[in-house]
Amino acid sequence: MRAALLSALRPVRRGSSTLSKLVELAVTHTATFAFPLVFAVVCGRTLGLHDYGVVAFYTAMAAFLGMLVEFGFDWYGVREVAPQRDAPARCHRVLVHITAAKLLLCGLTLAATVAALVWHRGLHEWPLMLAWSAYMLGFAVDPSWYLRAHERTRLMLGVATSVRLSGIALLLVLVPLLATPASALWTYACVSLASSAISWALLRREGLGGRAAVEPSYIAELLRGAWAIVLGNLNGSLLTNGGVALLGLWAEPSTVAAANLALRVRMAAEGALLPLNQLGYVRLSARAQESLQATVQLGRKVLIANLALAIGLSIVCMLAAPAVTRLVFKQDVPLAVGLILLLSLSLPLHSVAGLFGLQSLVALGRERRYALIQIGASLVFCAALLAIASPQAYGWAVVAAEATVLLLSGLTLARMQARDVAARTGSAA
């Protein structure tokens, strides 16, 4: 009788655990994305349109090149760690070597980019370059992906809320007091460095971050395994932060500022979707070890939840567009409003494209197909950006590229499912 009761209660407990983890991840990402949004508001109001455009260039470049430093290891690492969480030594080995590989990539990226920035923009911006480099270092050693793979969402919540709230307090004091782009970027860097340092301290305290000898051959193996993911992610980032960074090379700072604000608004909305996407990816990675059929069944549930949440967030962002623009720039900026509307409208499209592409294809071991799809989307983005003669070309180019990802990823998954059904039918016969 007792065994039957425990068996009946197990699904309820599992559902309750999943819900609590989703809530914890939701609060974590609300805190994470609240900081960039507050950062945009404070910097836009304090620094003005021109200087905020300079800051936007550096932050967008950090986000874009961060994809190169991350190298797809966050997704690759989750896929490797999630199925073997009961083998601590193996997990520690993955953690140590992914961190070492990211530090190596960070050093190479910093050397090449700082040299290019000095040549292109001049040495007078060295305080901005130094702050940007500090941010990149903190980003490179961030172990939050490892906590996510272990589903330690409560630890992630504690780190994100404490660090971001402290960062917002520092931002509200430092930036209005100094009113310089360097003060804004150094605040950005402090949040990155503090988040990584505290996360590592908690890993060691919880016994999750043990030591492992660094093996150059294993680092090379990780680089070979994740190259397709980073190729896809870099092309995907070209649609967002990379596109803003490209605008910073030839467009007016006011255009860069408008595009960056629109992107920040949509990224804030994406923060509400990330808990579902990240926990969904952990579970999809585990289901992928069982069968394609089990992965598809779970994916359908995630898809329904994604669409419902994304549509609601899209409507909220569109309604708030004029108020957000006036709040940040202290005036009506029609270009910023139009871009916010476009990127908000594309939120459901972006959400489903991410589920079909990055999450599902990588979980199923189809990284190369994902990379090819993202390359195609990047080509569509660049072509649309050049072909559309409008100040809002950036927004329309993003919509066209994400529609491409959705279509090609959906067709790939449909073909995989059809082959799986045919194989199972043939086996049964």
Question: Alpha carbon of 260 to those of 8, 49, 347, 400: distances in Å?
Answer: 50, 11, 16, 19
One-letter amino acid at 235 equals N
Which contiguous run of DSSP H or E holds residue 157?
helix 153-178
CA dihedral 51, 55, 61, 63 (to 10 degrees): -150
Which of 188, 144, 142, 194 has its CA nearest to residue 168?
188
One-letter amino acid at 389 equals A
**What pLDDT score does 86 carry?**
66
CA gap 216, 173 in Å, rounded: 44
Q: The tokens of 295 are what?
A: 């992965």
Q: At what angle do helices 347-354 and 292-329 cross, to 10 degrees?
A: 150
CA gap 340, 332 in Å, rounded: 13
Q: Please report, in tens digits, the pLDDT of each residue of the chain (429 residues total).
A: 434 333 433 443 444 466 666 666 666 666 666 777 777 778 777 877 777 777 877 877 787 787 778 777 777 777 777 666 666 777 777 788 888 888 888 888 888 888 887 887 777 777 778 888 888 888 888 887 777 777 776 777 677 777 878 888 888 887 778 778 888 888 888 888 888 888 888 877 777 766 777 778 877 877 776 666 666 666 666 676 666 766 666 667 777 777 878 887 887 787 777 776 766 676 777 677 677 777 777 778 878 888 888 888 889 888 888 888 887 777 777 888 888 888 888 888 888 888 887 777 877 777 778 878 888 888 888 888 777 777 777 788 888 888 898 899 889 888 888 887 777 776 655
Q: What are the sequence ranges of the domains in the chain? A: 17-423
Contacts of 71 (CB under 8 A, 6+ apart): 101, 102, 105, 223, 226, 227, 229, 230
**What pLDDT score does 234 carry?**
66
Tell me, yes or no, if the pTM score tops 0.75. no
One-letter amino acid at 53 equals G
Contacts of 8 (CB under 8 A, 6+ apart): none
CA gap 271, 242 in Å, rounded: 19
**What pLDDT score does 200 carry?**
83
Region of 330 (left: φ > 0; alpha: ψ -120 to 50; beta: rest) is: left
Helix-then-strand count for the chain, H and E: 16, 0
**What pLDDT score does 33 carry?**
67
Contacts of 268 (CB under 8 A, 6+ apart): 33, 34, 36, 37
Please give the DSSP secondary-structure letter assigned to residue 238: T
C-alpha Rg value of the chain to the nearest Å: 22
**What pLDDT score does 19 carry?**
64
**What pLDDT score does 9 carry?**
34
CA gap 337, 117 in Å, rounded: 31
**What pLDDT score does 233 carry?**
67
Please give the DSSP secondary-structure letter assigned to residue 158: H
Phi, psi of 346 (to 5 degrees): -85, 0
> Is residue 115 packed enough to be buried (19+ CB in 10 Å), middle (13-18) or exposed (0-12)?
exposed
CB 259 within 8 A of CB 292: no
**What pLDDT score does 12 carry?**
37
> Is residue 196 packed enough to be buried (19+ CB in 10 Å), middle (13-18) or exposed (0-12)?
buried
